[in-house]
Amino acid sequence: MTVSRAANRVLVLNSGSSSVKYQLLDMADASRLAVGLVERIGEETSRLKHTPLTGGGAEARVFEGPIADHKAALEAVAAELAKDGLGLDSPELAAIGHRVVHGGTKFTQPTVVDAEVLAELEQLVPLAPLHNPANVTGIEVARAIRPDLPQVAVFDTAFHATMPEAAYRYAIDRETADALSIRRYGFHGTSHAYVARETAKLLGKAPEETNVIVLHLGNGASASAVRGGVCVDTSMGLTPLEGLVMGTRSGDLDPAVIFHLARVGGKSVDEIDALLNKKSGLIGLCGDNDMREILRRRDEGDASAALAFDVYIHRLKKYIGAYTAVLGRIDAVAFTAGVGENSTPVREAAIAGLEELGLALDGERNAVRGDEPRLISADYARVAVAVVPTDEELEIATQAYALVTG
């Protein structure tokens, strides 16, 4: 399905189980025309916040009241967009880009969704039971509203599909692993792809010639090793639970902890799942998952907050070292997402003591806040350290637009 280049808007939808985040972008200049969020879908207290960004004003409009389901949510979004002359019936809309968390091994590229693809996405639900069903619902609802328009699925796992088997295969019985599709997939792929490319741009180098360690540190967190624009390893695995210490997820642990929790702790599989995904990481260590709050408490002498910070940084350093070894030579370490973009102390602690790896920060540069990609390394450092704000919506829109305009 190819669309005319005169149609240059893309609506990006990120559909969660009870929320829909959206952005309408104009691909002529990559600008935002509107952004918004529908929350608590299915409850009495649903909320739609819509911010038009055209015409100079950025006054948000808020609707509060019941929004029964995702269909009603998207219809409400369409009605808000129409008020600004940006309705979904516009011929200027080229595509709707959908964030889909898990593409399995099948979907390694952005894909126009038809009935067959939808059926295949349904089959991937066991790999991402919390995310994919909502992503699929979002696509179905958008298709019902504009059946003539390309619905493009952009997968969180896709950028990591280039990992060599040595990186993606777990050292467990091969038959069992293959029968159950157990392997490393990796997530946050649109962010890692975008940030690796923007980092090369910042260095004035071609992505094909640039080796980058990307540290996506948000509430979820993951690291990736990118060689010449191609992902060769990443810290999240079969699910987003593996790797770095996160807001509420444990990241790496001895798998036998799970047997111990079951046999000695008497916990069920669902209880262990909830413990490791929702009650571990920073929140498990100190009761807070917001890095700002943890730093405030640490600075006031709170020992559990200080420990949570130390565990978080220790793990981060291990991955920087490991991925330096995987890549052999690195041009840059790039920090992104909520913590990575904003937390001067996290960046300072993560890079401290890594001079032998060619890494050193400039304290003043690291302290500067900003929305633009920037270098924070010391002039004498062999390897650049960068802060690169991520833009997953722009990346999804760019990939979707490129696909439909051929």
Q: Which residues are catalytic?
A: 156
> Token pair 């879908």 is at which residue?
41
296 binds ligand AMP (CB under 6 A): no
| Footprint on residues 200-219 left by ligand AMP (CB under 6 A) | 218-219
In the complex, minimum distance from the CB of residue 44 to ligand AMP, in angstroms, rounded to a whole number: 27
Out of 343, 377, 398, 399, name the contact with ligand AMP by CB under 6 A.
Answer: 343
**Dihedral class, residue 366 (left if φ above 0, else alpha if ψ from -120 to 50, else beta):** alpha
337 binds ligand AMP (CB under 6 A): yes
Q: Is 301 annotated among the ligand-binding residues? A: no
What amino acid is encoded at 382 in this protein? Answer: R
Q: Is 388 annotated among the ligand-binding residues? A: no
In the complex, minimum distance from the CB of residue 333 to ligand AMP, in angstroms, rounded to a whole number: 18
Q: Is 342 annotated among the ligand-binding residues? A: yes
Out of 211, 289, 398, 399, name the contact with ligand AMP by CB under 6 A.
Answer: 289
Nearer to ligand AMP, 104 or 338 (CB): 338
246 binds ligand AMP (CB under 6 A): no
In the complex, minimum distance from the CB of residue 246 to ligand AMP, in angstroms, rounded to a whole number: 9
- As a whole number of angstroms, the distance between CA 127 and CA 140 comes to 20
292 binds ligand AMP (CB under 6 A): yes
405 binds ligand AMP (CB under 6 A): no
Nearer to ligand AMP, 245 or 339 (CB): 339
- As a whole number of angstroms, the distance between CA 189 and CA 44 comes to 34
User: Token digits for 117?
Assistant: 């693809």
31-39 β-sheet, strand order: 61-64, 47-52, 31-39, 20-26, 9-15, 93-100, 151-155, 111-112
- Return the exposure string of 213-227: e unless at least 16 CB atoms fall within 10 Å of the residue's CB, then b: bbbbbbbbbbbbbbb
Residue nearest to ligand AMP as judged by C-beta position: 338
348 binds ligand AMP (CB under 6 A): no
- As a whole number of angstroms, the distance between CA 121 and CA 108 comes to 13
Collect all residues with Cβ–Cβ distance below 8 Å to 113 and sequence separation of at least 6: 98, 121, 139, 143, 151, 152, 153
Helix (H) or strand (E) holding 351: helix 344-351
- As a whole number of angstroms, the distance between CA 150 and CA 227 comes to 32
Q: Is 291 annotated among the ligand-binding residues? A: yes
Read out DSSP for 300-321?
TT-HHHHHHHHHHHHHHHHHHH
Question: Applying CB under 6 A, which part among 48-56, 94-102, 197-205, 332-340 lies near ligand AMP?
Answer: 332-340
In the complex, minimum distance from the CB of residue 222 to ligand AMP, in angstroms, rounded to a whole number: 11
Q: Which residues are annotated as a binding site?
A: 14, 21, 99, 216-220, 290-292, 338-342, 392
Residues in touch with ligand AMP (CB under 6 A): 218-219, 247, 289-292, 337-339, 342-343
